[in-house]
Every structure is written in C-alpha cells, then in structure tokens.
Amino acid sequence: MKAMLHSPGSATTIATRTEPAFLGTSALLFLGSAAGTVVWCGSMSGGMSMPGGWTMSMAWMRMPGQTWPLAAASFLGMWVVMMVAMMLPSLVPRLRRYRKAVGRTGETRLGGLTTLVGAGYFFVWTVFGMAVFAVAAALALLEMRQPALARAVPVAAGAVVLIAGAIQFTAWKANRLACCREADVHGCAMPPDSGMAWRHGLRLALDCGYCCGHLTVVLLVIGVMDLGAMAAVTAAISAERLVPGGERVARAVGYVVLGEGLLLIARAARLV
C-alpha cells in the first residue's frame, strides 16, 4: 500500500477515487454562496436617486450608525461570497487538473492542498474587492457632493461597458483566454507542497483577472446587486473558458457587451 501511494500513478488514482467528494463539496459551496448572494442582494435592494436619472447602489453607502471600517468589512464579506458563486464554475475544472497533477500524497493531504489552491485564488479576488470598495465609496461621496459629476455617470458607464466589449475582440484577450483554457500543468506532476499550492492558486487568480477582469467591471458598472447581471457575467465567464470554441464565445460575448454599452449611452442621451 505504501509503495502504491508513492508510485507515479497513485496521485491520479487518489484524485479519481476522491473526485465525487470533491465535486459534491464544490456543488454545495456553489449553492451556499449563490443563496448567500441572493439574500444579500435582497437585503440591499434600492438605493439613492441621483442627478442624471440613475440610482446609486446601497453597497457603496454606510448604514445609519455604521462606521466606514464596518461598512467595508460587510461589503468584503459579501463580495467574497459573490465571487465564489461567480468564479467557482470555471475554477473547478482547473482544480481537478491540479489534483491529478499532484504526486505522492494521500487523500487527506490532497484535500488540504486543493483547499490551499482555492484559498490563494479567492485571496486575490478579496484584495480586488478591497480596492473596489475604496474606489467606489470615494466616487459615491464625490457624486453626492457634485451634481455635475453625478449627471455624467450614465454616459461614463456606457463608455466603460463599450471598452470592455471591445477588449473581447483583441489579440490580448485571445492570448489570455488561451492561457486560462490550456492545461495548467501540461500533464506534468507537481510537488505536494503547501507553498506551491498557495502560489498556484494566486497564479490562477491572476490569470483569471487578466482574462475576465473587464467583464467583472461591467458587472460593477451595471449594478453589483443586479442578480440578472451577475448571472449573465457568470455565464459569459464560464462559457468562454469551458465551451469548445472559446474564442468564438468570447466574440459573441463581446457583441452583447457592446450592445449593452450602446444602449446605456442611448438611454443617457434619452434616445430610447
């Protein structure tokens, strides 16, 4: 038994044997995070009407009696839950490849290493969420104090969405998407090292951010608490990574995003 656990093919055997538990845990985590996101959006519905005919999300405001650090912590907690729901569908296949590549480790060790990879991945998105809240909260304060700035927001939002749509057609996007779609470990064994697992998770998140960060920005612009927008962005990110012909999917997503940007600008100009 000891020799089998340390043989070159043992990691694949262990990964295959424990795959149902891994997939089941991933499914439960996704369902829990999705339910938490729905509850959060329901509790934070509404907002403040702003000059220019748009509504500022409550996500960027303090509740009565709430300090800014507490508001930031509350947002960050829900941001992480939302990111798990959005990114886990496209992350699971990459975690499966990692599990098959880790050699000379037992079942318990494999589960811990997989958890470390996931923790590293979502740590990067947590840091991104901290930056998002700081920038968005500061902009919200400026917009509440400067009506002229607030009136420009709808057009600016449309322009940002247009830029995000245009990125979908660039060679840079195609290269980053190819990096995300290819086998991360190229069929080679990886050492069962905790530090390596953490760094692998960080690298996966950075690759993911480079590839789909602009689509996440679209969600922030359209409405971070819009469940329909969340579902659409999640579907787009997952499809262009997992569906055969990812570049064609990315271009199709680009056309949809461009259309949304044009619609936002037309609404801001009261053309529709």
Ordered per-residue pLDDT tens for the chain, 272 residues: 344 444 444 556 777 788 888 999 999 999 999 999 999 888 777 788 888 888 888 888 888 888 999 999 999 999 999 999 999 999 999 999 898 888 656 666 888 999 999 999 999 999 999 999 999 999 999 999 999 999 999 999 999 999 999 999 999 999 999 888 775 444 456 777 899 999 999 999 999 999 999 999 999 998 888 889 999 999 999 999 999 988 999 999 999 999 999 999 999 888 87
State the total domains in the chain: 1
pLDDT attached to residue 269: 86
Angle made by CA atoms 229, 234, 236, in degrees to the nearest 5: 95
Gap between the Cα atoms of 181 and 25, Å rounded: 23
Q: What are phi and psi of 186, to 5 degrees?
A: 55, 35
Angle, to 10 degrees, between the axis of helix 147-167 and the axis of helix 194-223? 120
**Domain limits for position 81:** 2-268
Q: Would you put residue 187 in left (φ > 0), alpha (ψ -120 to 50) or beta?
A: left
pTM over 0.85: yes
Identify the pLDDT of residue 235. 95
Q: Is 68 helix (H, G, I), strand (E, B) or coil?
A: helix
DSSP string, 113-162: HHHHHHHHHHHHHHHHHHHHHHHHHHHHHHHHH-HHHHHHHHHHHHHHHH
